[in-house]
Amino acid sequence: MNRLETYLSGIKLKNPVIPASGTFGFGQEMARFYDLNVLGGISLKGTTGEERFGNPTPRIAECREGLLNAVGLQNPGVDAVVAHELPAVRKIYDGVLLANISGFSVEEYVAVARKFDAADEIDILEINISCPNVRHGGMAFGTDPGAAQEVTAAVKAVTKKPVYMKLSPNVTDIAAIARACEAGGADGITLINTLLGMVIDPRTGRPIVSTKMSGFSGPAIKPVALRMVYQAAAAVNIPIIGVGGISTADDVLEFMSAGASAVQVGAQNLVDPFACPRIINELPRKLDEYGIGSLQEIIGRSHKL
């Protein structure tokens, strides 16, 4: 048995390490650095119904604590992704692929999900509900349990593949959102997405990112992400993919102990392109050091102590 293998809705991953959507493109760029087949899975760049240019620049800013971004879901649209990006990544990668889907209405989520569900290359649909609901004043779908459940149920009605809802951390009760997604039929959840942050130029007093506030990621968000994974794992009975500030094998073990079945590495890919294979290579040594037989043994163990 492979000590590192794990499962998401019955789908086997050779290890739990997945590059997070938005930090890995569609795989082509990173394939120049290493063989992508070492990865447990890949969450592809967020995709909408139509092509999007994204937000005006500047839309990336570094800070001591991590990274802020307001890329704005720049992508070529679902039809171009299905026609060109999926066949291209399958030429270089044979593992688990997650299609990350974004939308600004329930209808858009449904339309994009239906097209990815029909794509043979895709194994799991990951639904990003941190997007603003344009029909309800811009409030993100993922900040309201009713809206989260509505999107989940609508997508599940048109798909056969596992559906994982990617949750926003910008809420007061993450467990309530997780339960709403489970009630809507979700096969799993991914959390967390970026926190809402800001960085200001001290010389001018001007916000550096064009949107003023933007998504904050990196090492500083890990304790928040870990807490939310722990809370969600106690609230639902579906698999969880943990995300937020992961940069080492120890981080992976923490998230799996909190209840995650797999993890995603985000901002660290931009700091160190070799972060994912390095973490994967570190894991067997850490299992030996801590007397752990396999990763399957530790999923959710913190809840039993």
How many angstroms separate the CA atoms of 38 and 144, rounded?
A: 37
Please say whether the dihedral angle defined by the alpha carbons of residues 139, 132, 141 and 135, taken in this order, is positive or negative: positive
Query: Would residue 1 count as lying in a domain?
Result: no
Model pLDDT, residue 239? 98
Q: How many residues are present in the chain? A: 305
pTM for this one?
0.97
- Positions annotated as catalytic residues are 131
Where helices occur in 206-273 by DSSP H, the ranges are 222-235, 249-258, 268-271
Comparing C-alpha atoms, which of 284, 274, 215, 216 is closest to residue 247?
274
Host H or E run for residue 191: strand 188-191
Model pLDDT, residue 132? 60
- Could you read off the pLDDT of 5-19 as tens digits, one per residue? 999 999 999 999 999
Please check whether residue 68 is in contact with residue 58, taking contact to mean a CB–CB distance below 8 angstroms.
no
Does residue 23 sit in helix, strand or coil?
coil
How many angstroms separate the CA atoms of 131 and 271, rounded?
A: 26
Tokens found for residue 57: 């620049």
pLDDT(97) > 90: yes
The pLDDT confidence band at residue 136, using thresholds 50, 70 and 90, is low
Averaged pLDDT for residues 22-48: 96
Query: Would residue 109 count as lying in a domain?
Result: yes
Q: What CATH number corresponds to the domain at position 215?
A: 3.20.20.70
The pLDDT confidence band at residue 139, using thresholds 50, 70 and 90, is low
> What is the 8-class DSSP label of residue 295?
G
How many domains does the structure of the chain reveal?
1
Model pLDDT, residue 137? 54
Please check whether residue 103 is in contact with residue 49, taking contact to mean a CB–CB distance below 8 angstroms.
yes
Query: Would residue 211 count as lying in a domain?
Result: yes
How many angstroms separate the CA atoms of 158 and 168, rounded?
A: 23
Tokens found for residue 232: 């969600």
The pLDDT confidence band at residue 48, using thresholds 50, 70 and 90, is very high
Model pLDDT, residue 305? 87
Q: Is 33 exposed, middle or buried (0-12, 13-18, 19+ CB in 10 A)?
A: exposed
Averaged pLDDT for residues 45-59: 95
Query: Would residue 49 count as lying in a domain?
Result: yes
Measured in Å, how far apart are the chain's first and last C-alpha atoms?
Answer: 27
Host domain of residue 31: 6-304
Model pLDDT, residue 148? 96
Query: Would residue 56 count as lying in a domain?
Result: yes
How many angstroms separate the CA atoms of 128 and 191, rounded?
A: 10
Q: Is 15 exposed, middle or buried (0-12, 13-18, 19+ CB in 10 A)?
A: buried
Query: Would residue 16 count as lying in a domain?
Result: yes
- Type of residue found at 205: G
